[in-house]
């Protein structure tokens, strides 16, 4: 890829460098397997589509069928001789053409999270190495109408210093609603209250933050799925430090001129890089295989947590990260140099990214809003961070951000990814203008914000199978999940880093 001027495309790529401890041998939950656009599944290099090319040996798939529900479609076809994988293309009205969406090595693929009662058109191709067959004839299906009661939507909270009134859009067929509160100790939602009306009033704890979900129940006692999470806070008496209900009405934040990443909402591709040097090489098929495997699990936990936290602010954040499904988002670089000082890492690494990784192609292939480069280095080292906006303003050549950490766990990964979207640390100023008064306040109030602590707030220990911290309203503001923050004004904190 040719080196380019600092452009809007370049501004959408962010880098995280994590100096990874080896020897971490903790079990972790399965990564988030949410909706994401797929890409080919062979090798470590970016597999570029050879548009219109065919091997002459591969036939287009035939006898294609689709079995549908209200939200999914299982697509099947006959095996093509010589093919090692298959691609599925869906028609895009916006592009006026069929767009590559999914890949699989099997002769069937289930597409999830479709809209109910909606028509879809698609085609299938066969792939071997870098060659692809012609697309099949056009196929179509229509998802079924939903046959179950829907979850509540349009949730709003109106709070005082003692009470909350929750409202939501009435669900057709519902005779009652259940209110579920998030339990921070178990990371689960527990049913506490039931109401027959599409609203609920309750006196709660002053100054407390709450995360809730709702469900609807029909006359036959069938219950909907839980709604998207919703966050609110009960203010302390005469204290602005809470989440005002008005902040649940969002405005779009223009990402132009921001540095390297936009706002947390939207789709983010996490490109993982294993970088070796004289201080520590990577043997991902041998001695480092366990660390390599755990790294993917921890990224998945972080991605799932970020998605849930964004949803709590009414925003959708989607992450593509699983390199076993998307081999064009994993790379391994090696440097014959001493990179023990973090300041020595930046130039050679970003030069390789700029030269060897086609960021614009990845962004286009996944229809992504952001591309984050998460880099693991196999030796201990100092913690530090380069911030793209600062580097850009000071005339640096590359626009990438490079936070570096020493210990890798799910919460630390999420913490460093949030830096890419403009979140400052809350445990120290770090040159970002976070006032000492606010840092002391956060410490004294034991604020469980992930930009302040990345461990279990009760035990003080790292957790490897979940994240027990949260995005509170200050961090939410800095990563674009809200368009204002009462605390930023109260504590005289700096404005949004990437404000227009």
pLDDT confidence tier of residue 186, bands split at 50, 70 and 90: low
Query: Lowest-confidence range among 240-244, 313-317, 325-329?
Result: 240-244
> 198-202, 363-367, 409-413, 453-457: which range is least confident on average?
363-367
In the predicted structure, residue 496 carries a pLDDT above the cut 60: yes
Give per-residue burial for 431-455: e unless 16+ CB within 10 Å, then b. ebebeeebbebbeeeebbbbbbbbb
Q: Within its chain, how far is the Cα of 390 from the centroid? A: 24
Q: What CATH number is attached to the domain comprising 432? A: 3.40.390
Closest to 83 measured CA to CA, from 102, 106, 65, 100? 106
342 and 287 part of one domain: yes
What's the number of domains the chain is made of? 3
25 pLDDT more than 70:
no
Residues 297 and 376 occupy one common structural domain = yes
Residues 126 and 215 in one domain: no
- pLDDT attached to residue 159: 82
Establish if 43 belongs to a structural domain. no
Instruction: Tell me the average pLDDT across 479-499.
Output: 76
What gap in Å lies between CA 187 and CA 180, rounded to an integer? Answer: 12
Residue 359 structure tokens: 């960021």
Same domain, 270 and 419: yes
pLDDT averaged over the chain? 76
Beta strand pairing status for 119-128 and 131-132? antiparallel
Q: Which residues of 55-76 are buried (b: 16+ CB within 10 A; e: fewer)?
A: beebebbeebebebeeeebebb
The confidence band for 238, taking pLDDT boundaries of 50, 70 and 90, is: very low
| Integer Cα distance of 232 and 264 in angstroms | 19
Residue 173 lies in a domain: yes
Q: How confident is the model at residue 384 (pLDDT cuts 50, 70, 90)?
A: very low
Residue 318 pLDDT class (50, 70, 90 cuts): very high
Categorise residue 422: left if φ over 0, alpha if ψ from -120 to 50, beta otherwise: left
Encode pLDDT of 47-71 as tens digits: 233 333 444 579 999 999 999 988 8
Which of 397, 400, 373 lies closest to 386, judged by CA?
Answer: 400
Q: How many CB atoms lie within 10 A of CB 19?
A: 26
Q: Which residues pair with 180 in a beta bridge?
A: 191, 213
Look up residue 220 and give its two tokens: 């036959």
Question: Residue 121: is its pLDDT beyond 50?
Answer: yes
pLDDT of 193? 92
Torsion of CA 96, 101, 105, 107, to 10 degrees: -50
The last residue of a domain, from among 185, 212, 227 = 227
Q: For residue 466, tell me if it sits in a domain.
A: yes
- Pull the structure tokens for residue 161: 């210093």
Give the pLDDT score at 259. 39
Residues 485 and 360 in one domain: yes
Tell me the three state secondary structure of residue 121.
Answer: strand
Is 444 found in the same domain as 327? yes
Beta-carbon count within 10 A of 120 CB: 17
pLDDT score of 274: 86
Residue 146 DSSP one-character state? P
497: pLDDT confidence band, cut at 50, 70 and 90? low
- Domain contains 499: no
Q: Does residue 90 register a pLDDT over 80?
A: yes
In a domain, 469, yes or no: yes
Strands 370-377 and 266-276: parallel
Q: What 3-state class would DSSP assign to 115?
A: coil
Residue 67 confidence (pLDDT): 94
For residues 170-193, average pLDDT: 85
In angstroms, rounded to a whole number, what is the distance separating the alpha carbons of residues 78 and 86? 11
Within this chain, do residues 223 and 255 fall inside the same structural domain, yes or no?
no
CB distance 498 to 258 below 8 Å: yes
Q: Is residue 60 part of a domain?
A: no
Tell me the pLDDT band of 18, cut-offs 50, 70 and 90: very low
pLDDT higher at 137 or 173: 137
Question: Can you give the pLDDT at residue 10?
Answer: 38
Does this model's pTM top 0.75? no
Name the least confident of 6-10, 214-218, 316-320, 466-470. 6-10
Closest C-alpha to 87, from 75, 104, 111 = 104
Do 422 and 479 form a contact (C-beta atoms < 8 A)? yes
488/484 Cα distance (integer angstroms): 8
Q: Are residues 22 and 171 in the same domain?
A: no
Same domain? For 190 and 277 the reply is no
pLDDT class for 28, splitting at 50, 70, 90?
A: very low
Among 147-161, 192-206, 304-318, 403-417, which is the least confidently predicted range? 403-417
pLDDT at 39: 27
96 and 212 together in one domain:
no
Same structural domain, 398 and 440: yes
Question: Considering the domain boundaries, does residue 149 fall inside one?
Answer: no
| pLDDT for residue 24 | 32
For residue 255, the model assigns a pLDDT of: 32
In a domain, 423, yes or no: yes
208/265 same-domain check: no
Provide the residue range defining the domain that includes 404.
Answer: 10-37+250-490
Residue 234: helix, strand or coil by DSSP?
coil
Specify the 3-state DSSP secondary structure of 414: helix
Interval 289-308 mean pLDDT: 91
pLDDT of residue 185: 63
* Highest mean pLDDT (candidates 113-117, 167-171, 392-396): 167-171
Q: What is the CATH number of the domain that holds 214?
A: 2.60.40.10
């Amino acid at each position: 890829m040719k080196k380019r001027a600092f452009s809007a495309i370049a501004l959408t790529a962010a880098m995280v460098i994590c100096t990874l401890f080896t020897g971490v041998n903790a079990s972790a939950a399965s990564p988030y397997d949410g909706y994401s656009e797929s890409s080919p599944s062979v090798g470590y290099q970016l597999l570029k589509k050879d548009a219109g090319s065919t091997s002459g040996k591969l036939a287009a798939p035939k006898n294609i069928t689709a079995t549908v529900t209200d939200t999914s479609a299982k697509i099947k076809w006959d095996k093509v001789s010589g093919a090692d994988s298959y691609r599925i293309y869906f028609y895009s009205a916006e592009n006026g053409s069929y767009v590559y969406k999914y890949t699989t090595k099997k002769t069937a693929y289930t597409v999830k999270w479709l809209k109910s009662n909606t028509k879809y058109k698609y085609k299938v191709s066969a792939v071997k190495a870098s060659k692809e067959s012609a697309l099949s004839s056009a196929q179509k299906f229509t998802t079924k109408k939903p046959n179950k009661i829907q979850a509540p939507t349009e949730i709003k909270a109106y709070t005082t210093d003692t009470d909350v009134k929750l409202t939501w859009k009435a669900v057709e067929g519902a005779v009652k609603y259940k209110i579920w509160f998030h339990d921070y100790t178990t990371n689960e939602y527990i049913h506490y209250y039931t109401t027959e009306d599409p609203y609920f009033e309750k006196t709660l704890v002053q100054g407390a933050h709450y995360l809730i979900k709702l469900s609807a129940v029909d006359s036959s006692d069938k219950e909907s799925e839980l709604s998207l999470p919703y966050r609110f806070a009960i203010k302390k008496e005469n204290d602005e430090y809470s989440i005002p209900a008005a902040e649940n009405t969002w405005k779009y934040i223009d990402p132009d001129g921001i540095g390297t990443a936009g706002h947390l909402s939207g789709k983010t591709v996490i490109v993982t890089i294993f970088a070796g040097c004289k201080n520590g090489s990577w043997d991902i098929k041998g001695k480092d295989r366990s660390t390599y495997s755990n790294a993917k699990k921890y990224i998945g936990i972080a991605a799932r947590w970020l998605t849930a936290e964004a949803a709590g602010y009414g925003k959708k954040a989607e992450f593509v990260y699983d390199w076993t499904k998307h081999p064009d988002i994993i790379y391994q670089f090696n440097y014959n140099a001493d990179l023990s000082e973090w300041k020595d890492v930046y130039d050679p690494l970003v030069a390789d990214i700029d030269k060897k990784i086609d960021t614009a192609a990845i962004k286009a292939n996944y229809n992504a809003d952001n591309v984050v480069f998460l880099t693991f280095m196999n030796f201990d080292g100092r913690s530090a961070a380069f911030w793209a906006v600062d580097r850009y303003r000071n005339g640096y050549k590359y626009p990438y951000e490079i936070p570096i950490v020493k210990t890798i766990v799910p919460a630390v990964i999420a913490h460093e990814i949030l830096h890419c979207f403009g979140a400052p640390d809350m445990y120290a100023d770090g040159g970002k203008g976070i006032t000492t008064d606010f840092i002391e306040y956060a410490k004294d109030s034991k604020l469980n914000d992930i930009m302040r602590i990345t461990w279990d707030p009760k035990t003080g220990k790292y957790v490897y199978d979940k994240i027990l911290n949260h995005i509170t309203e200050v961090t939410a503001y800095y990563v674009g999940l809200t368009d204002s923050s009462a605390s930023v004004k109260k504590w005289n904190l700096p404005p949004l880093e990437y404000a227009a």
